[in-house]
Amino acid sequence: MLGLMQEWPLLCHKLLDHAAAQHGAREIVSRSVEGPVVRTTYADMRRRALKLASRLEADGFGAGDRIATLAWNTARHLEAWYGIMGIGAVYHTLNPRLFPDQIAWIMNHAEDKAVFVDLTFVPLLEKIAGSVKSLRRVVVLTDSEHMPETPLPGAVSYEEWLAEGSYDFRWRSFDENTAAGMCYTSGTTGDPKGVLYSHRSNVLHAVIAAMPDAMGLSARDVVMPVVPMFHANAWGLGQACPMVGATLVMPGPKLDGASIYELLDTERVTFTAAVPTVWLMLLRHLEETGGKLPHLRKVVIGGSACPRSMIARFQDDYGVEVVHAWGMTEMSPLGSLCTLKPEYAARAGDARLDVLQTQGYAPFGVEMKITDDENNAHPWDGRTFGRLKVRGPAVARAYYGGAGAEQFDAEEWFDTGDVAHIDPNGYMQITDRAKDVIKSGGEWISTIELENMAVGHPDVAEAAVIGARHSKWGERPLLVVVRKPDRDPSKQDVLAFLDGKIAKWWMPDDVVFVTDIPHTATGKIQKSVLRKQFRDYRLPTD
């Protein structure tokens, strides 16, 4: 027997409709690419998004079309998302930090028909547009005054193009499982893989993000998403903020410490989110200037592991709560957030930091387990680590085009490729990537933990650990080190530094010194390249 409740599909434009109806005068403040800080409201954004939707249809775009964006966080970018979704088309965020060839590959794979591009990225797009066969319209996110000369196909300034649209438009209606957005992951190996979000997954993810023990977003918050919209949906803030009616502050192209601080201060931002690198720059700026953060209440830090010292500084020096989070593009992206359950709420000092440096626990809507290679579940004992697998309504069930099918099993568990342990209270900590973890005689050794230890040595600039072949153990750890300038630590110095800090059987079998460790375009260590480089390395212990 079915219930007798309304069919009210979870559609993204309802988030903006709600914001316009209930929080219509609330502001979206943007640092524009042209320079000035500009202001709009949810009511105006909705009107313009409707107009944009009508304009897209006038251009012949419609349901299912992929419309790319290559843009910073601004109100224009966000209203473009809503306009695109409102006709059943798919916004496709491109990461400008990738190599131009990768971007072109991704656009061709997605068959993007149009692109909204910021002035900043016009030169980049000019390099690749010719090789994107599907592309027939380029909208430059600026006005006629700032519009550059460009040979891009169908190029027009956003404001001129939008002016030809009509406010008199109604959102198209469709199933809540209709595709809404698209984002490609940039792995360290292989081709990028596309994740295709649905309206339902975006709305449910917004709900998961906003809950009190997740981000805890309120209409009284002033939220600055420093994390880019091209980085896994700005962690859902573009949907969650209109849903709760929070003020949005969009930092545009300037992500340096001084520019971020200026907006935090003048706009009285209460909530912000970004990767650790951004906060390093901010903390350095605060240190140099003596700036304070009297308005800021909470900062969500994710994308890579947040250093313990950063949590302590925000908390102790600036009175700001840090929520350490973990997620993936494939998860929309939130997977876990480190807020305190009552079991931990009373902790202080180091004991509190011990909890806060974990990636936290999975909210309702994310199921989590850790397993061995044969899919047997590991206990949640805070020590045993295994492959981290997840399930939920905002988790991908496949990649666009069918790549990477081996990451999804028959019960829809998605293998994250991360390795983690989970404590008895559900707090998860990433210890490695599955393809990097070293399997020594059947036992797993975390390369990340070893690297974190090694970079603690005062003479070490960067460290990477890979598994080197060993005839008895299968693999043993090899520590690859870049020395600090004018320092000359020996193998014995480095190993002696690790002694006593790690289990004896985790001790690297050798240390090699190099001048450079290879990185991806987004700054991750390319261990696959290192492994290739040291494929024939003969360990002294073997």
Catalytic residues: 185, 330, 439, 444
Comparing CB distances to its own copies, the nearer of 200 and 231 is 200
* Count of Cβ atoms closer than 10 Å to residue 503 Cβ: 8
CA distance 87 to 56: 8
Span interacting with its own copies, options 210-218, 256-264, 291-299, 446-454, rule CB under 8 A? 210-218
Q: Does 488 sit near its own copies (CB under 8 A)? A: no
Residue 361 C-beta-side C-alpha neighbours within 13 Å: 16
CA distance 508 to 466: 9
Question: Measured from the CB of residue 542, what is the shortest distance to its own copies in angstroms?
Answer: 43
Question: Measured from the CB of residue 353, what is the shortest distance to its own copies in angstroms?
Answer: 19
Q: Which of residues 88-117 bind its own copies (CB under 8 A)?
A: 90
Q: Does 28 sit near its own copies (CB under 8 A)? A: no
Span interacting with its own copies, options 114-122, 208-216, 498-506, 513-521, rule CB under 8 A? 208-216
Q: Does 213 sit near its own copies (CB under 8 A)? A: yes
CA proximity to 516, closest of 478, 467, 463: 463
DSSP structure class, residue 413: -
Question: Measured from the CB of residue 430, what is the shortest distance to its own copies in angstroms?
Answer: 18
CA distance 96 to 86: 25
Q: Does 195 sit near its own copies (CB under 8 A)? A: yes
Residues 6+ apart with CB under 8 A from 211: 363, 364
SS3 state of residue 96: coil
169, 197, 279, 444: which one contacts its own copies (CB under 8 A)? 197
Span interacting with its own copies, options 72-80, 298-306, 339-347, 532-540, rule CB under 8 A? 339-347
39, 127, 220, 383: which one contacts its own copies (CB under 8 A)? 220
Q: Encode 238-270: b = buried (16+ Cβ within 10 Å), e = exposed.
A: bbbbbbbbbbbbbbbbebebebbbbbbeebebb
Span interacting with its own copies, options 191-199, 317-325, 511-519, 530-538, rule CB under 8 A? 191-199
Look at the alpha carbons of 125, 182, 328, 403 in this order and tell me if their dihedral is positive or negative: negative
How far are the Cα atoms of 417, 460, 465, 514 from residue 393, in angstroms, in the given order?
19, 43, 35, 45
CA distance 112 to 135: 6
* Token duo for residue 453: 């230890």
Q: Does 338 sit near its own copies (CB under 8 A)? A: no
199, 324, 421, 470: which one contacts its own copies (CB under 8 A)? 199
29, 75, 115, 394: which one contacts its own copies (CB under 8 A)? 394
54, 93, 178, 446: which one contacts its own copies (CB under 8 A)? 178
* Token duo for residue 494: 């480095």
Q: Does 362 sit near its own copies (CB under 8 A)? A: yes
Question: Measured from the CB of residue 334, what is the shortest distance to its own copies in angstroms?
Answer: 14
Q: Which of residues 248-307 bind its own copies (CB under 8 A)?
A: none
132, 398, 479, 498: which one contacts its own copies (CB under 8 A)? 398
Question: Measured from the CB of residue 297, what is the shortest distance to its own copies in angstroms?
Answer: 12
26, 387, 433, 476: which one contacts its own copies (CB under 8 A)? 26
Q: Does 179 sit near its own copies (CB under 8 A)? A: yes
* Token duo for residue 215: 């981000």
Q: Does 196 sit near its own copies (CB under 8 A)? A: yes
171, 400, 444, 534: which one contacts its own copies (CB under 8 A)? 400
Span interacting with its own copies, options 37-45, 52-60, 242-250, 438-446, rule CB under 8 A? 242-250
CA distance 219 to 242: 9
35, 58, 63, 496: which one contacts its own copies (CB under 8 A)? 63
Strands (E), 456-503: 460-470, 474-483
Q: Does 164 sit near its own copies (CB under 8 A)? A: no
CA distance 117 to 379: 48
CA distance 355 to 344: 8
* Token duo for residue 398: 């496949």
Q: Does 459 sit near its own copies (CB under 8 A)? A: no
Residue 407 C-beta-side C-alpha neighbours within 13 Å: 22
Q: Does 243 sit near its own copies (CB under 8 A)? A: yes
Provide long-range contacts, Cβ within 8 A and 24+ apart, for 304-308.
Answer: 304/275, 304/276, 305/276, 305/357, 305/359, 305/430, 305/448, 306/276, 306/357, 307/276, 308/353, 308/356, 308/357
Q: Does 345 sit near its own copies (CB under 8 A)? A: yes
Q: Does 397 sit near its own copies (CB under 8 A)? A: yes
Q: Does 426 sit near its own copies (CB under 8 A)? A: yes
